[in-house]
């Protein structure tokens, strides 16, 4: 992965990550029961120090490092990448907005891979319009509330150990009436069920039946939860693009190998101009997406004024590119790529959700247009 702007040390790190993913993490992938958290895989991420790289002791991870980490893992093992990313999504609200006591209680277990986290924002009718959430936090005495309602499409639910939950504390206030709570999974009144989805990673719904929370569980300030959510998503958004680029690279590598080995019409597939041009297009789009992701991550690390636009562009282009590249790789492989268990069959199911979660493609276009009008 030789990319403009990467130092030799960064390139060596990416190569090391790919080797770790292929040799140490891939054998653990797919060993968990469908719809359940792969705890041995999460523990291995901790043992190998990858979760410590995700949660450095001196503060938030650099966005460029996060993107390199996610792309490198995704190229060799999407399950490992997703397990790591979900730890980041669930626990970064603690890093960015938690008290010292909350950090000390939870982050050591998260870094070690012992505590599985989840980010509980989405609801049945509040996905892209996250400010429309309806999970209620009803007052229950001074500094206490009861959570009542449901969450849906929550990664790692219902088997996570710790949830960052966003609930409405002030009716009619939109985004300004939401509070973030840090909720252990054993809190009374919290239940859930797994959902069977197209992609292979664990996801489920949660039900809250007067679940008790107190001021000690609040992340940030009461009614300031939407800011907690957006700070987390802003940090992770370019790295979703990096995940997509990793999948695109894996699909491109597979297509190049297949085109060199498969013979048709008297020679290897790569000698057919239609296939060669398709591979060239796939490679060009993948590299363009990679560069845009790294540019957005650099903008985030340097607090550039156009970081919102760059992050939206990176997520938009990278996820749409990955969908195109994986689909094209399937076409080059033919029917064999549709057999259950084939790498491309796996990528074909995995890649689709990236165009929806953490801001759908249409939302990214809206953000970009809004930023252009400023």
pLDDT at 364 over 60: yes
Architecture of domain 8-112: Orthogonal Bundle (1.10)
Q: Which stretches of 190-272 are DSSP H helices? A: 225-261
Q: Residues with catalytic annotation? A: 358
Tell me which of 1.20.58.1910, 3.40.190.10, 1.20.140.10, 3.40.50.2300 is the CATH number of domain 227-373: 1.20.140.10
Strand partners, 119: 164
**What is the residue extent of each domain of the chain?**
8-112, 117-223, 227-373
Q: What is the pLDDT of residue 150?
A: 97
Whether the per-residue pLDDT at 363 is higher than 60: the answer is yes
- Cα–Cα dist 52/37, whole Å: 20
Question: Is the C-alpha dihedral spanning 320, 198, 70, 260 positive or negative?
Answer: negative
With 90 as the cut, is the pLDDT of residue 31 above it?
no
* Other Cβ atoms closer than 10 A to 323: 19
Half-sphere exposure of 153 (CA within 13 A, CB side): 15
The angle at the Cα of 371, spanning 366 to 374, to the nearest 5 degrees, equals 130
Mean pLDDT, rounded, for 212-230: 95
Would strands 162-168 and 117-120 be described as parallel, antiparallel, or unpaired? parallel
| pLDDT of 3 strictly over 70 | no
Nearest Cα residue to 209 out of 147, 167, 166:
147
Q: What mean pLDDT is reported for the chain?
A: 94
What fold, for 117-223? Butyryl-CoA Dehydrogenase, subunit A; domain 2 (2.40.110)
Backbone angles phi, psi at 19, to 5 degrees: -65, -45
Q: What is the pLDDT of residue 228?
A: 95
Per the CB < 8 A criterion, the answer to whether 300 and 235 are in contact is yes
- Residue 374: is its pLDDT beyond 90? no
The pLDDT value given to residue 147: 98
The pLDDT tens digits for 47-70 are: 999 999 999 998 899 999 999 999
Which whole number is the average pLDDT over 89-99?
96
Q: What is the pTM of this model?
A: 0.94
% of the chain with per-residue pLDDT over 70: 99
Find, among 215, 224, 225, 223, the residue nearest to 143 by Cα. Answer: 215
Q: Which two tokens stand for residue 65?
A: 């490092």
Contact present, 239 and 284 (Cβ < 8 Å): no
Percentage of the chain beyond pLDDT 90 is: 88
Express each pLDDT in 292-318 by its tens digit. 999 999 999 999 999 999 999 999 999
Average of pLDDT values for 174-200? Answer: 93
pLDDT digits (tens, 9 = 90+) for 317-331: 999 999 999 999 999
Instruction: Give the pLDDT confidence score for residue 127 in this predicted structure.
Output: 73
């Amino acid at each position: 992965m030789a990319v403009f702007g990467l130092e030799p040390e960064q390139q060596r790190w990416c190569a090391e990550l790919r080797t770790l993913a292929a040799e140490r993490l891939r054998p653990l992938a797919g060993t968990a029961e469908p719809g359940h958290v792969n705890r041995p895989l999460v523990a291995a991420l901790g043992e190998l120090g990858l979760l410590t790289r995700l949660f450095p002791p001196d503060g938030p991870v650099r966005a460029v490092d996060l993107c390199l980490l996610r792309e490198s893992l995704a190229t060799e093992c999407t399950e490992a990448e997703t397990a790591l990313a979900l730890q980041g999504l669930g626990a970064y609200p603690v890093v960015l907005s938690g008290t010292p006591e909350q950090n000390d209680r939870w982050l050591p277990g998260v870094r070690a891979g012992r505590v599985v986290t989840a980010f509980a924002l989405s609801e049945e009718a509040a996905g892209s319009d996250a400010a429309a959430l309806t999970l209620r936090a009803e007052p229950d005495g001074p500094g206490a509330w009861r959570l009542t309602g449901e969450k849906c499409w929550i990664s790692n639910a219902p088997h996570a150990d710790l949830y960052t939950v966003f609930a409405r504390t002030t009716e009619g206030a939109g985004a300004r009436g939401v509070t973030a709570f840090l909720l252990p999974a054993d809190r009374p009144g919290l239940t859930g069920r797994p959902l069977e989805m197209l992609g292979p990673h664990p996801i489920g719904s949660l039900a809250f039946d007067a679940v008790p929370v107190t001021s000690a569980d609040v992340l940030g300030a009461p009614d300031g939860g939407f800011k907690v959510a957006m700070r987390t998503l802003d940090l992770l958004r370019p790295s979703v693009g990096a995940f997509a680029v990793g999948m695109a690279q894996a699909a491109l590598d597979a297509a190049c190998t297949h085109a060199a080995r498969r013979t048709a019409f008297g020679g290897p597939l790569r000698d057919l101009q239609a296939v060669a041009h398709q591979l060239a297009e796939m490679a060009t789009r993948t590299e363009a997406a990679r560069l845009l992701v790294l540019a957005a991550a650099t903008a985030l690390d340097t607090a550039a004024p156009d970081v919102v636009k760059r992050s939206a562009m990176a997520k938009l282009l990278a996820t749409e590119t990955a969908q195109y590249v994986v689909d094209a790789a399937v076409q080059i492989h033919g029917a064999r790529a549709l057999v259950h268990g084939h790498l491309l069959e796996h990528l074909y199911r995995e890649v689709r959700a990236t165009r929806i979660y953490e801001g759908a493609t249409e939302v990214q276009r809206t953000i970009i247009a809004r930023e252009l009008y400023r």
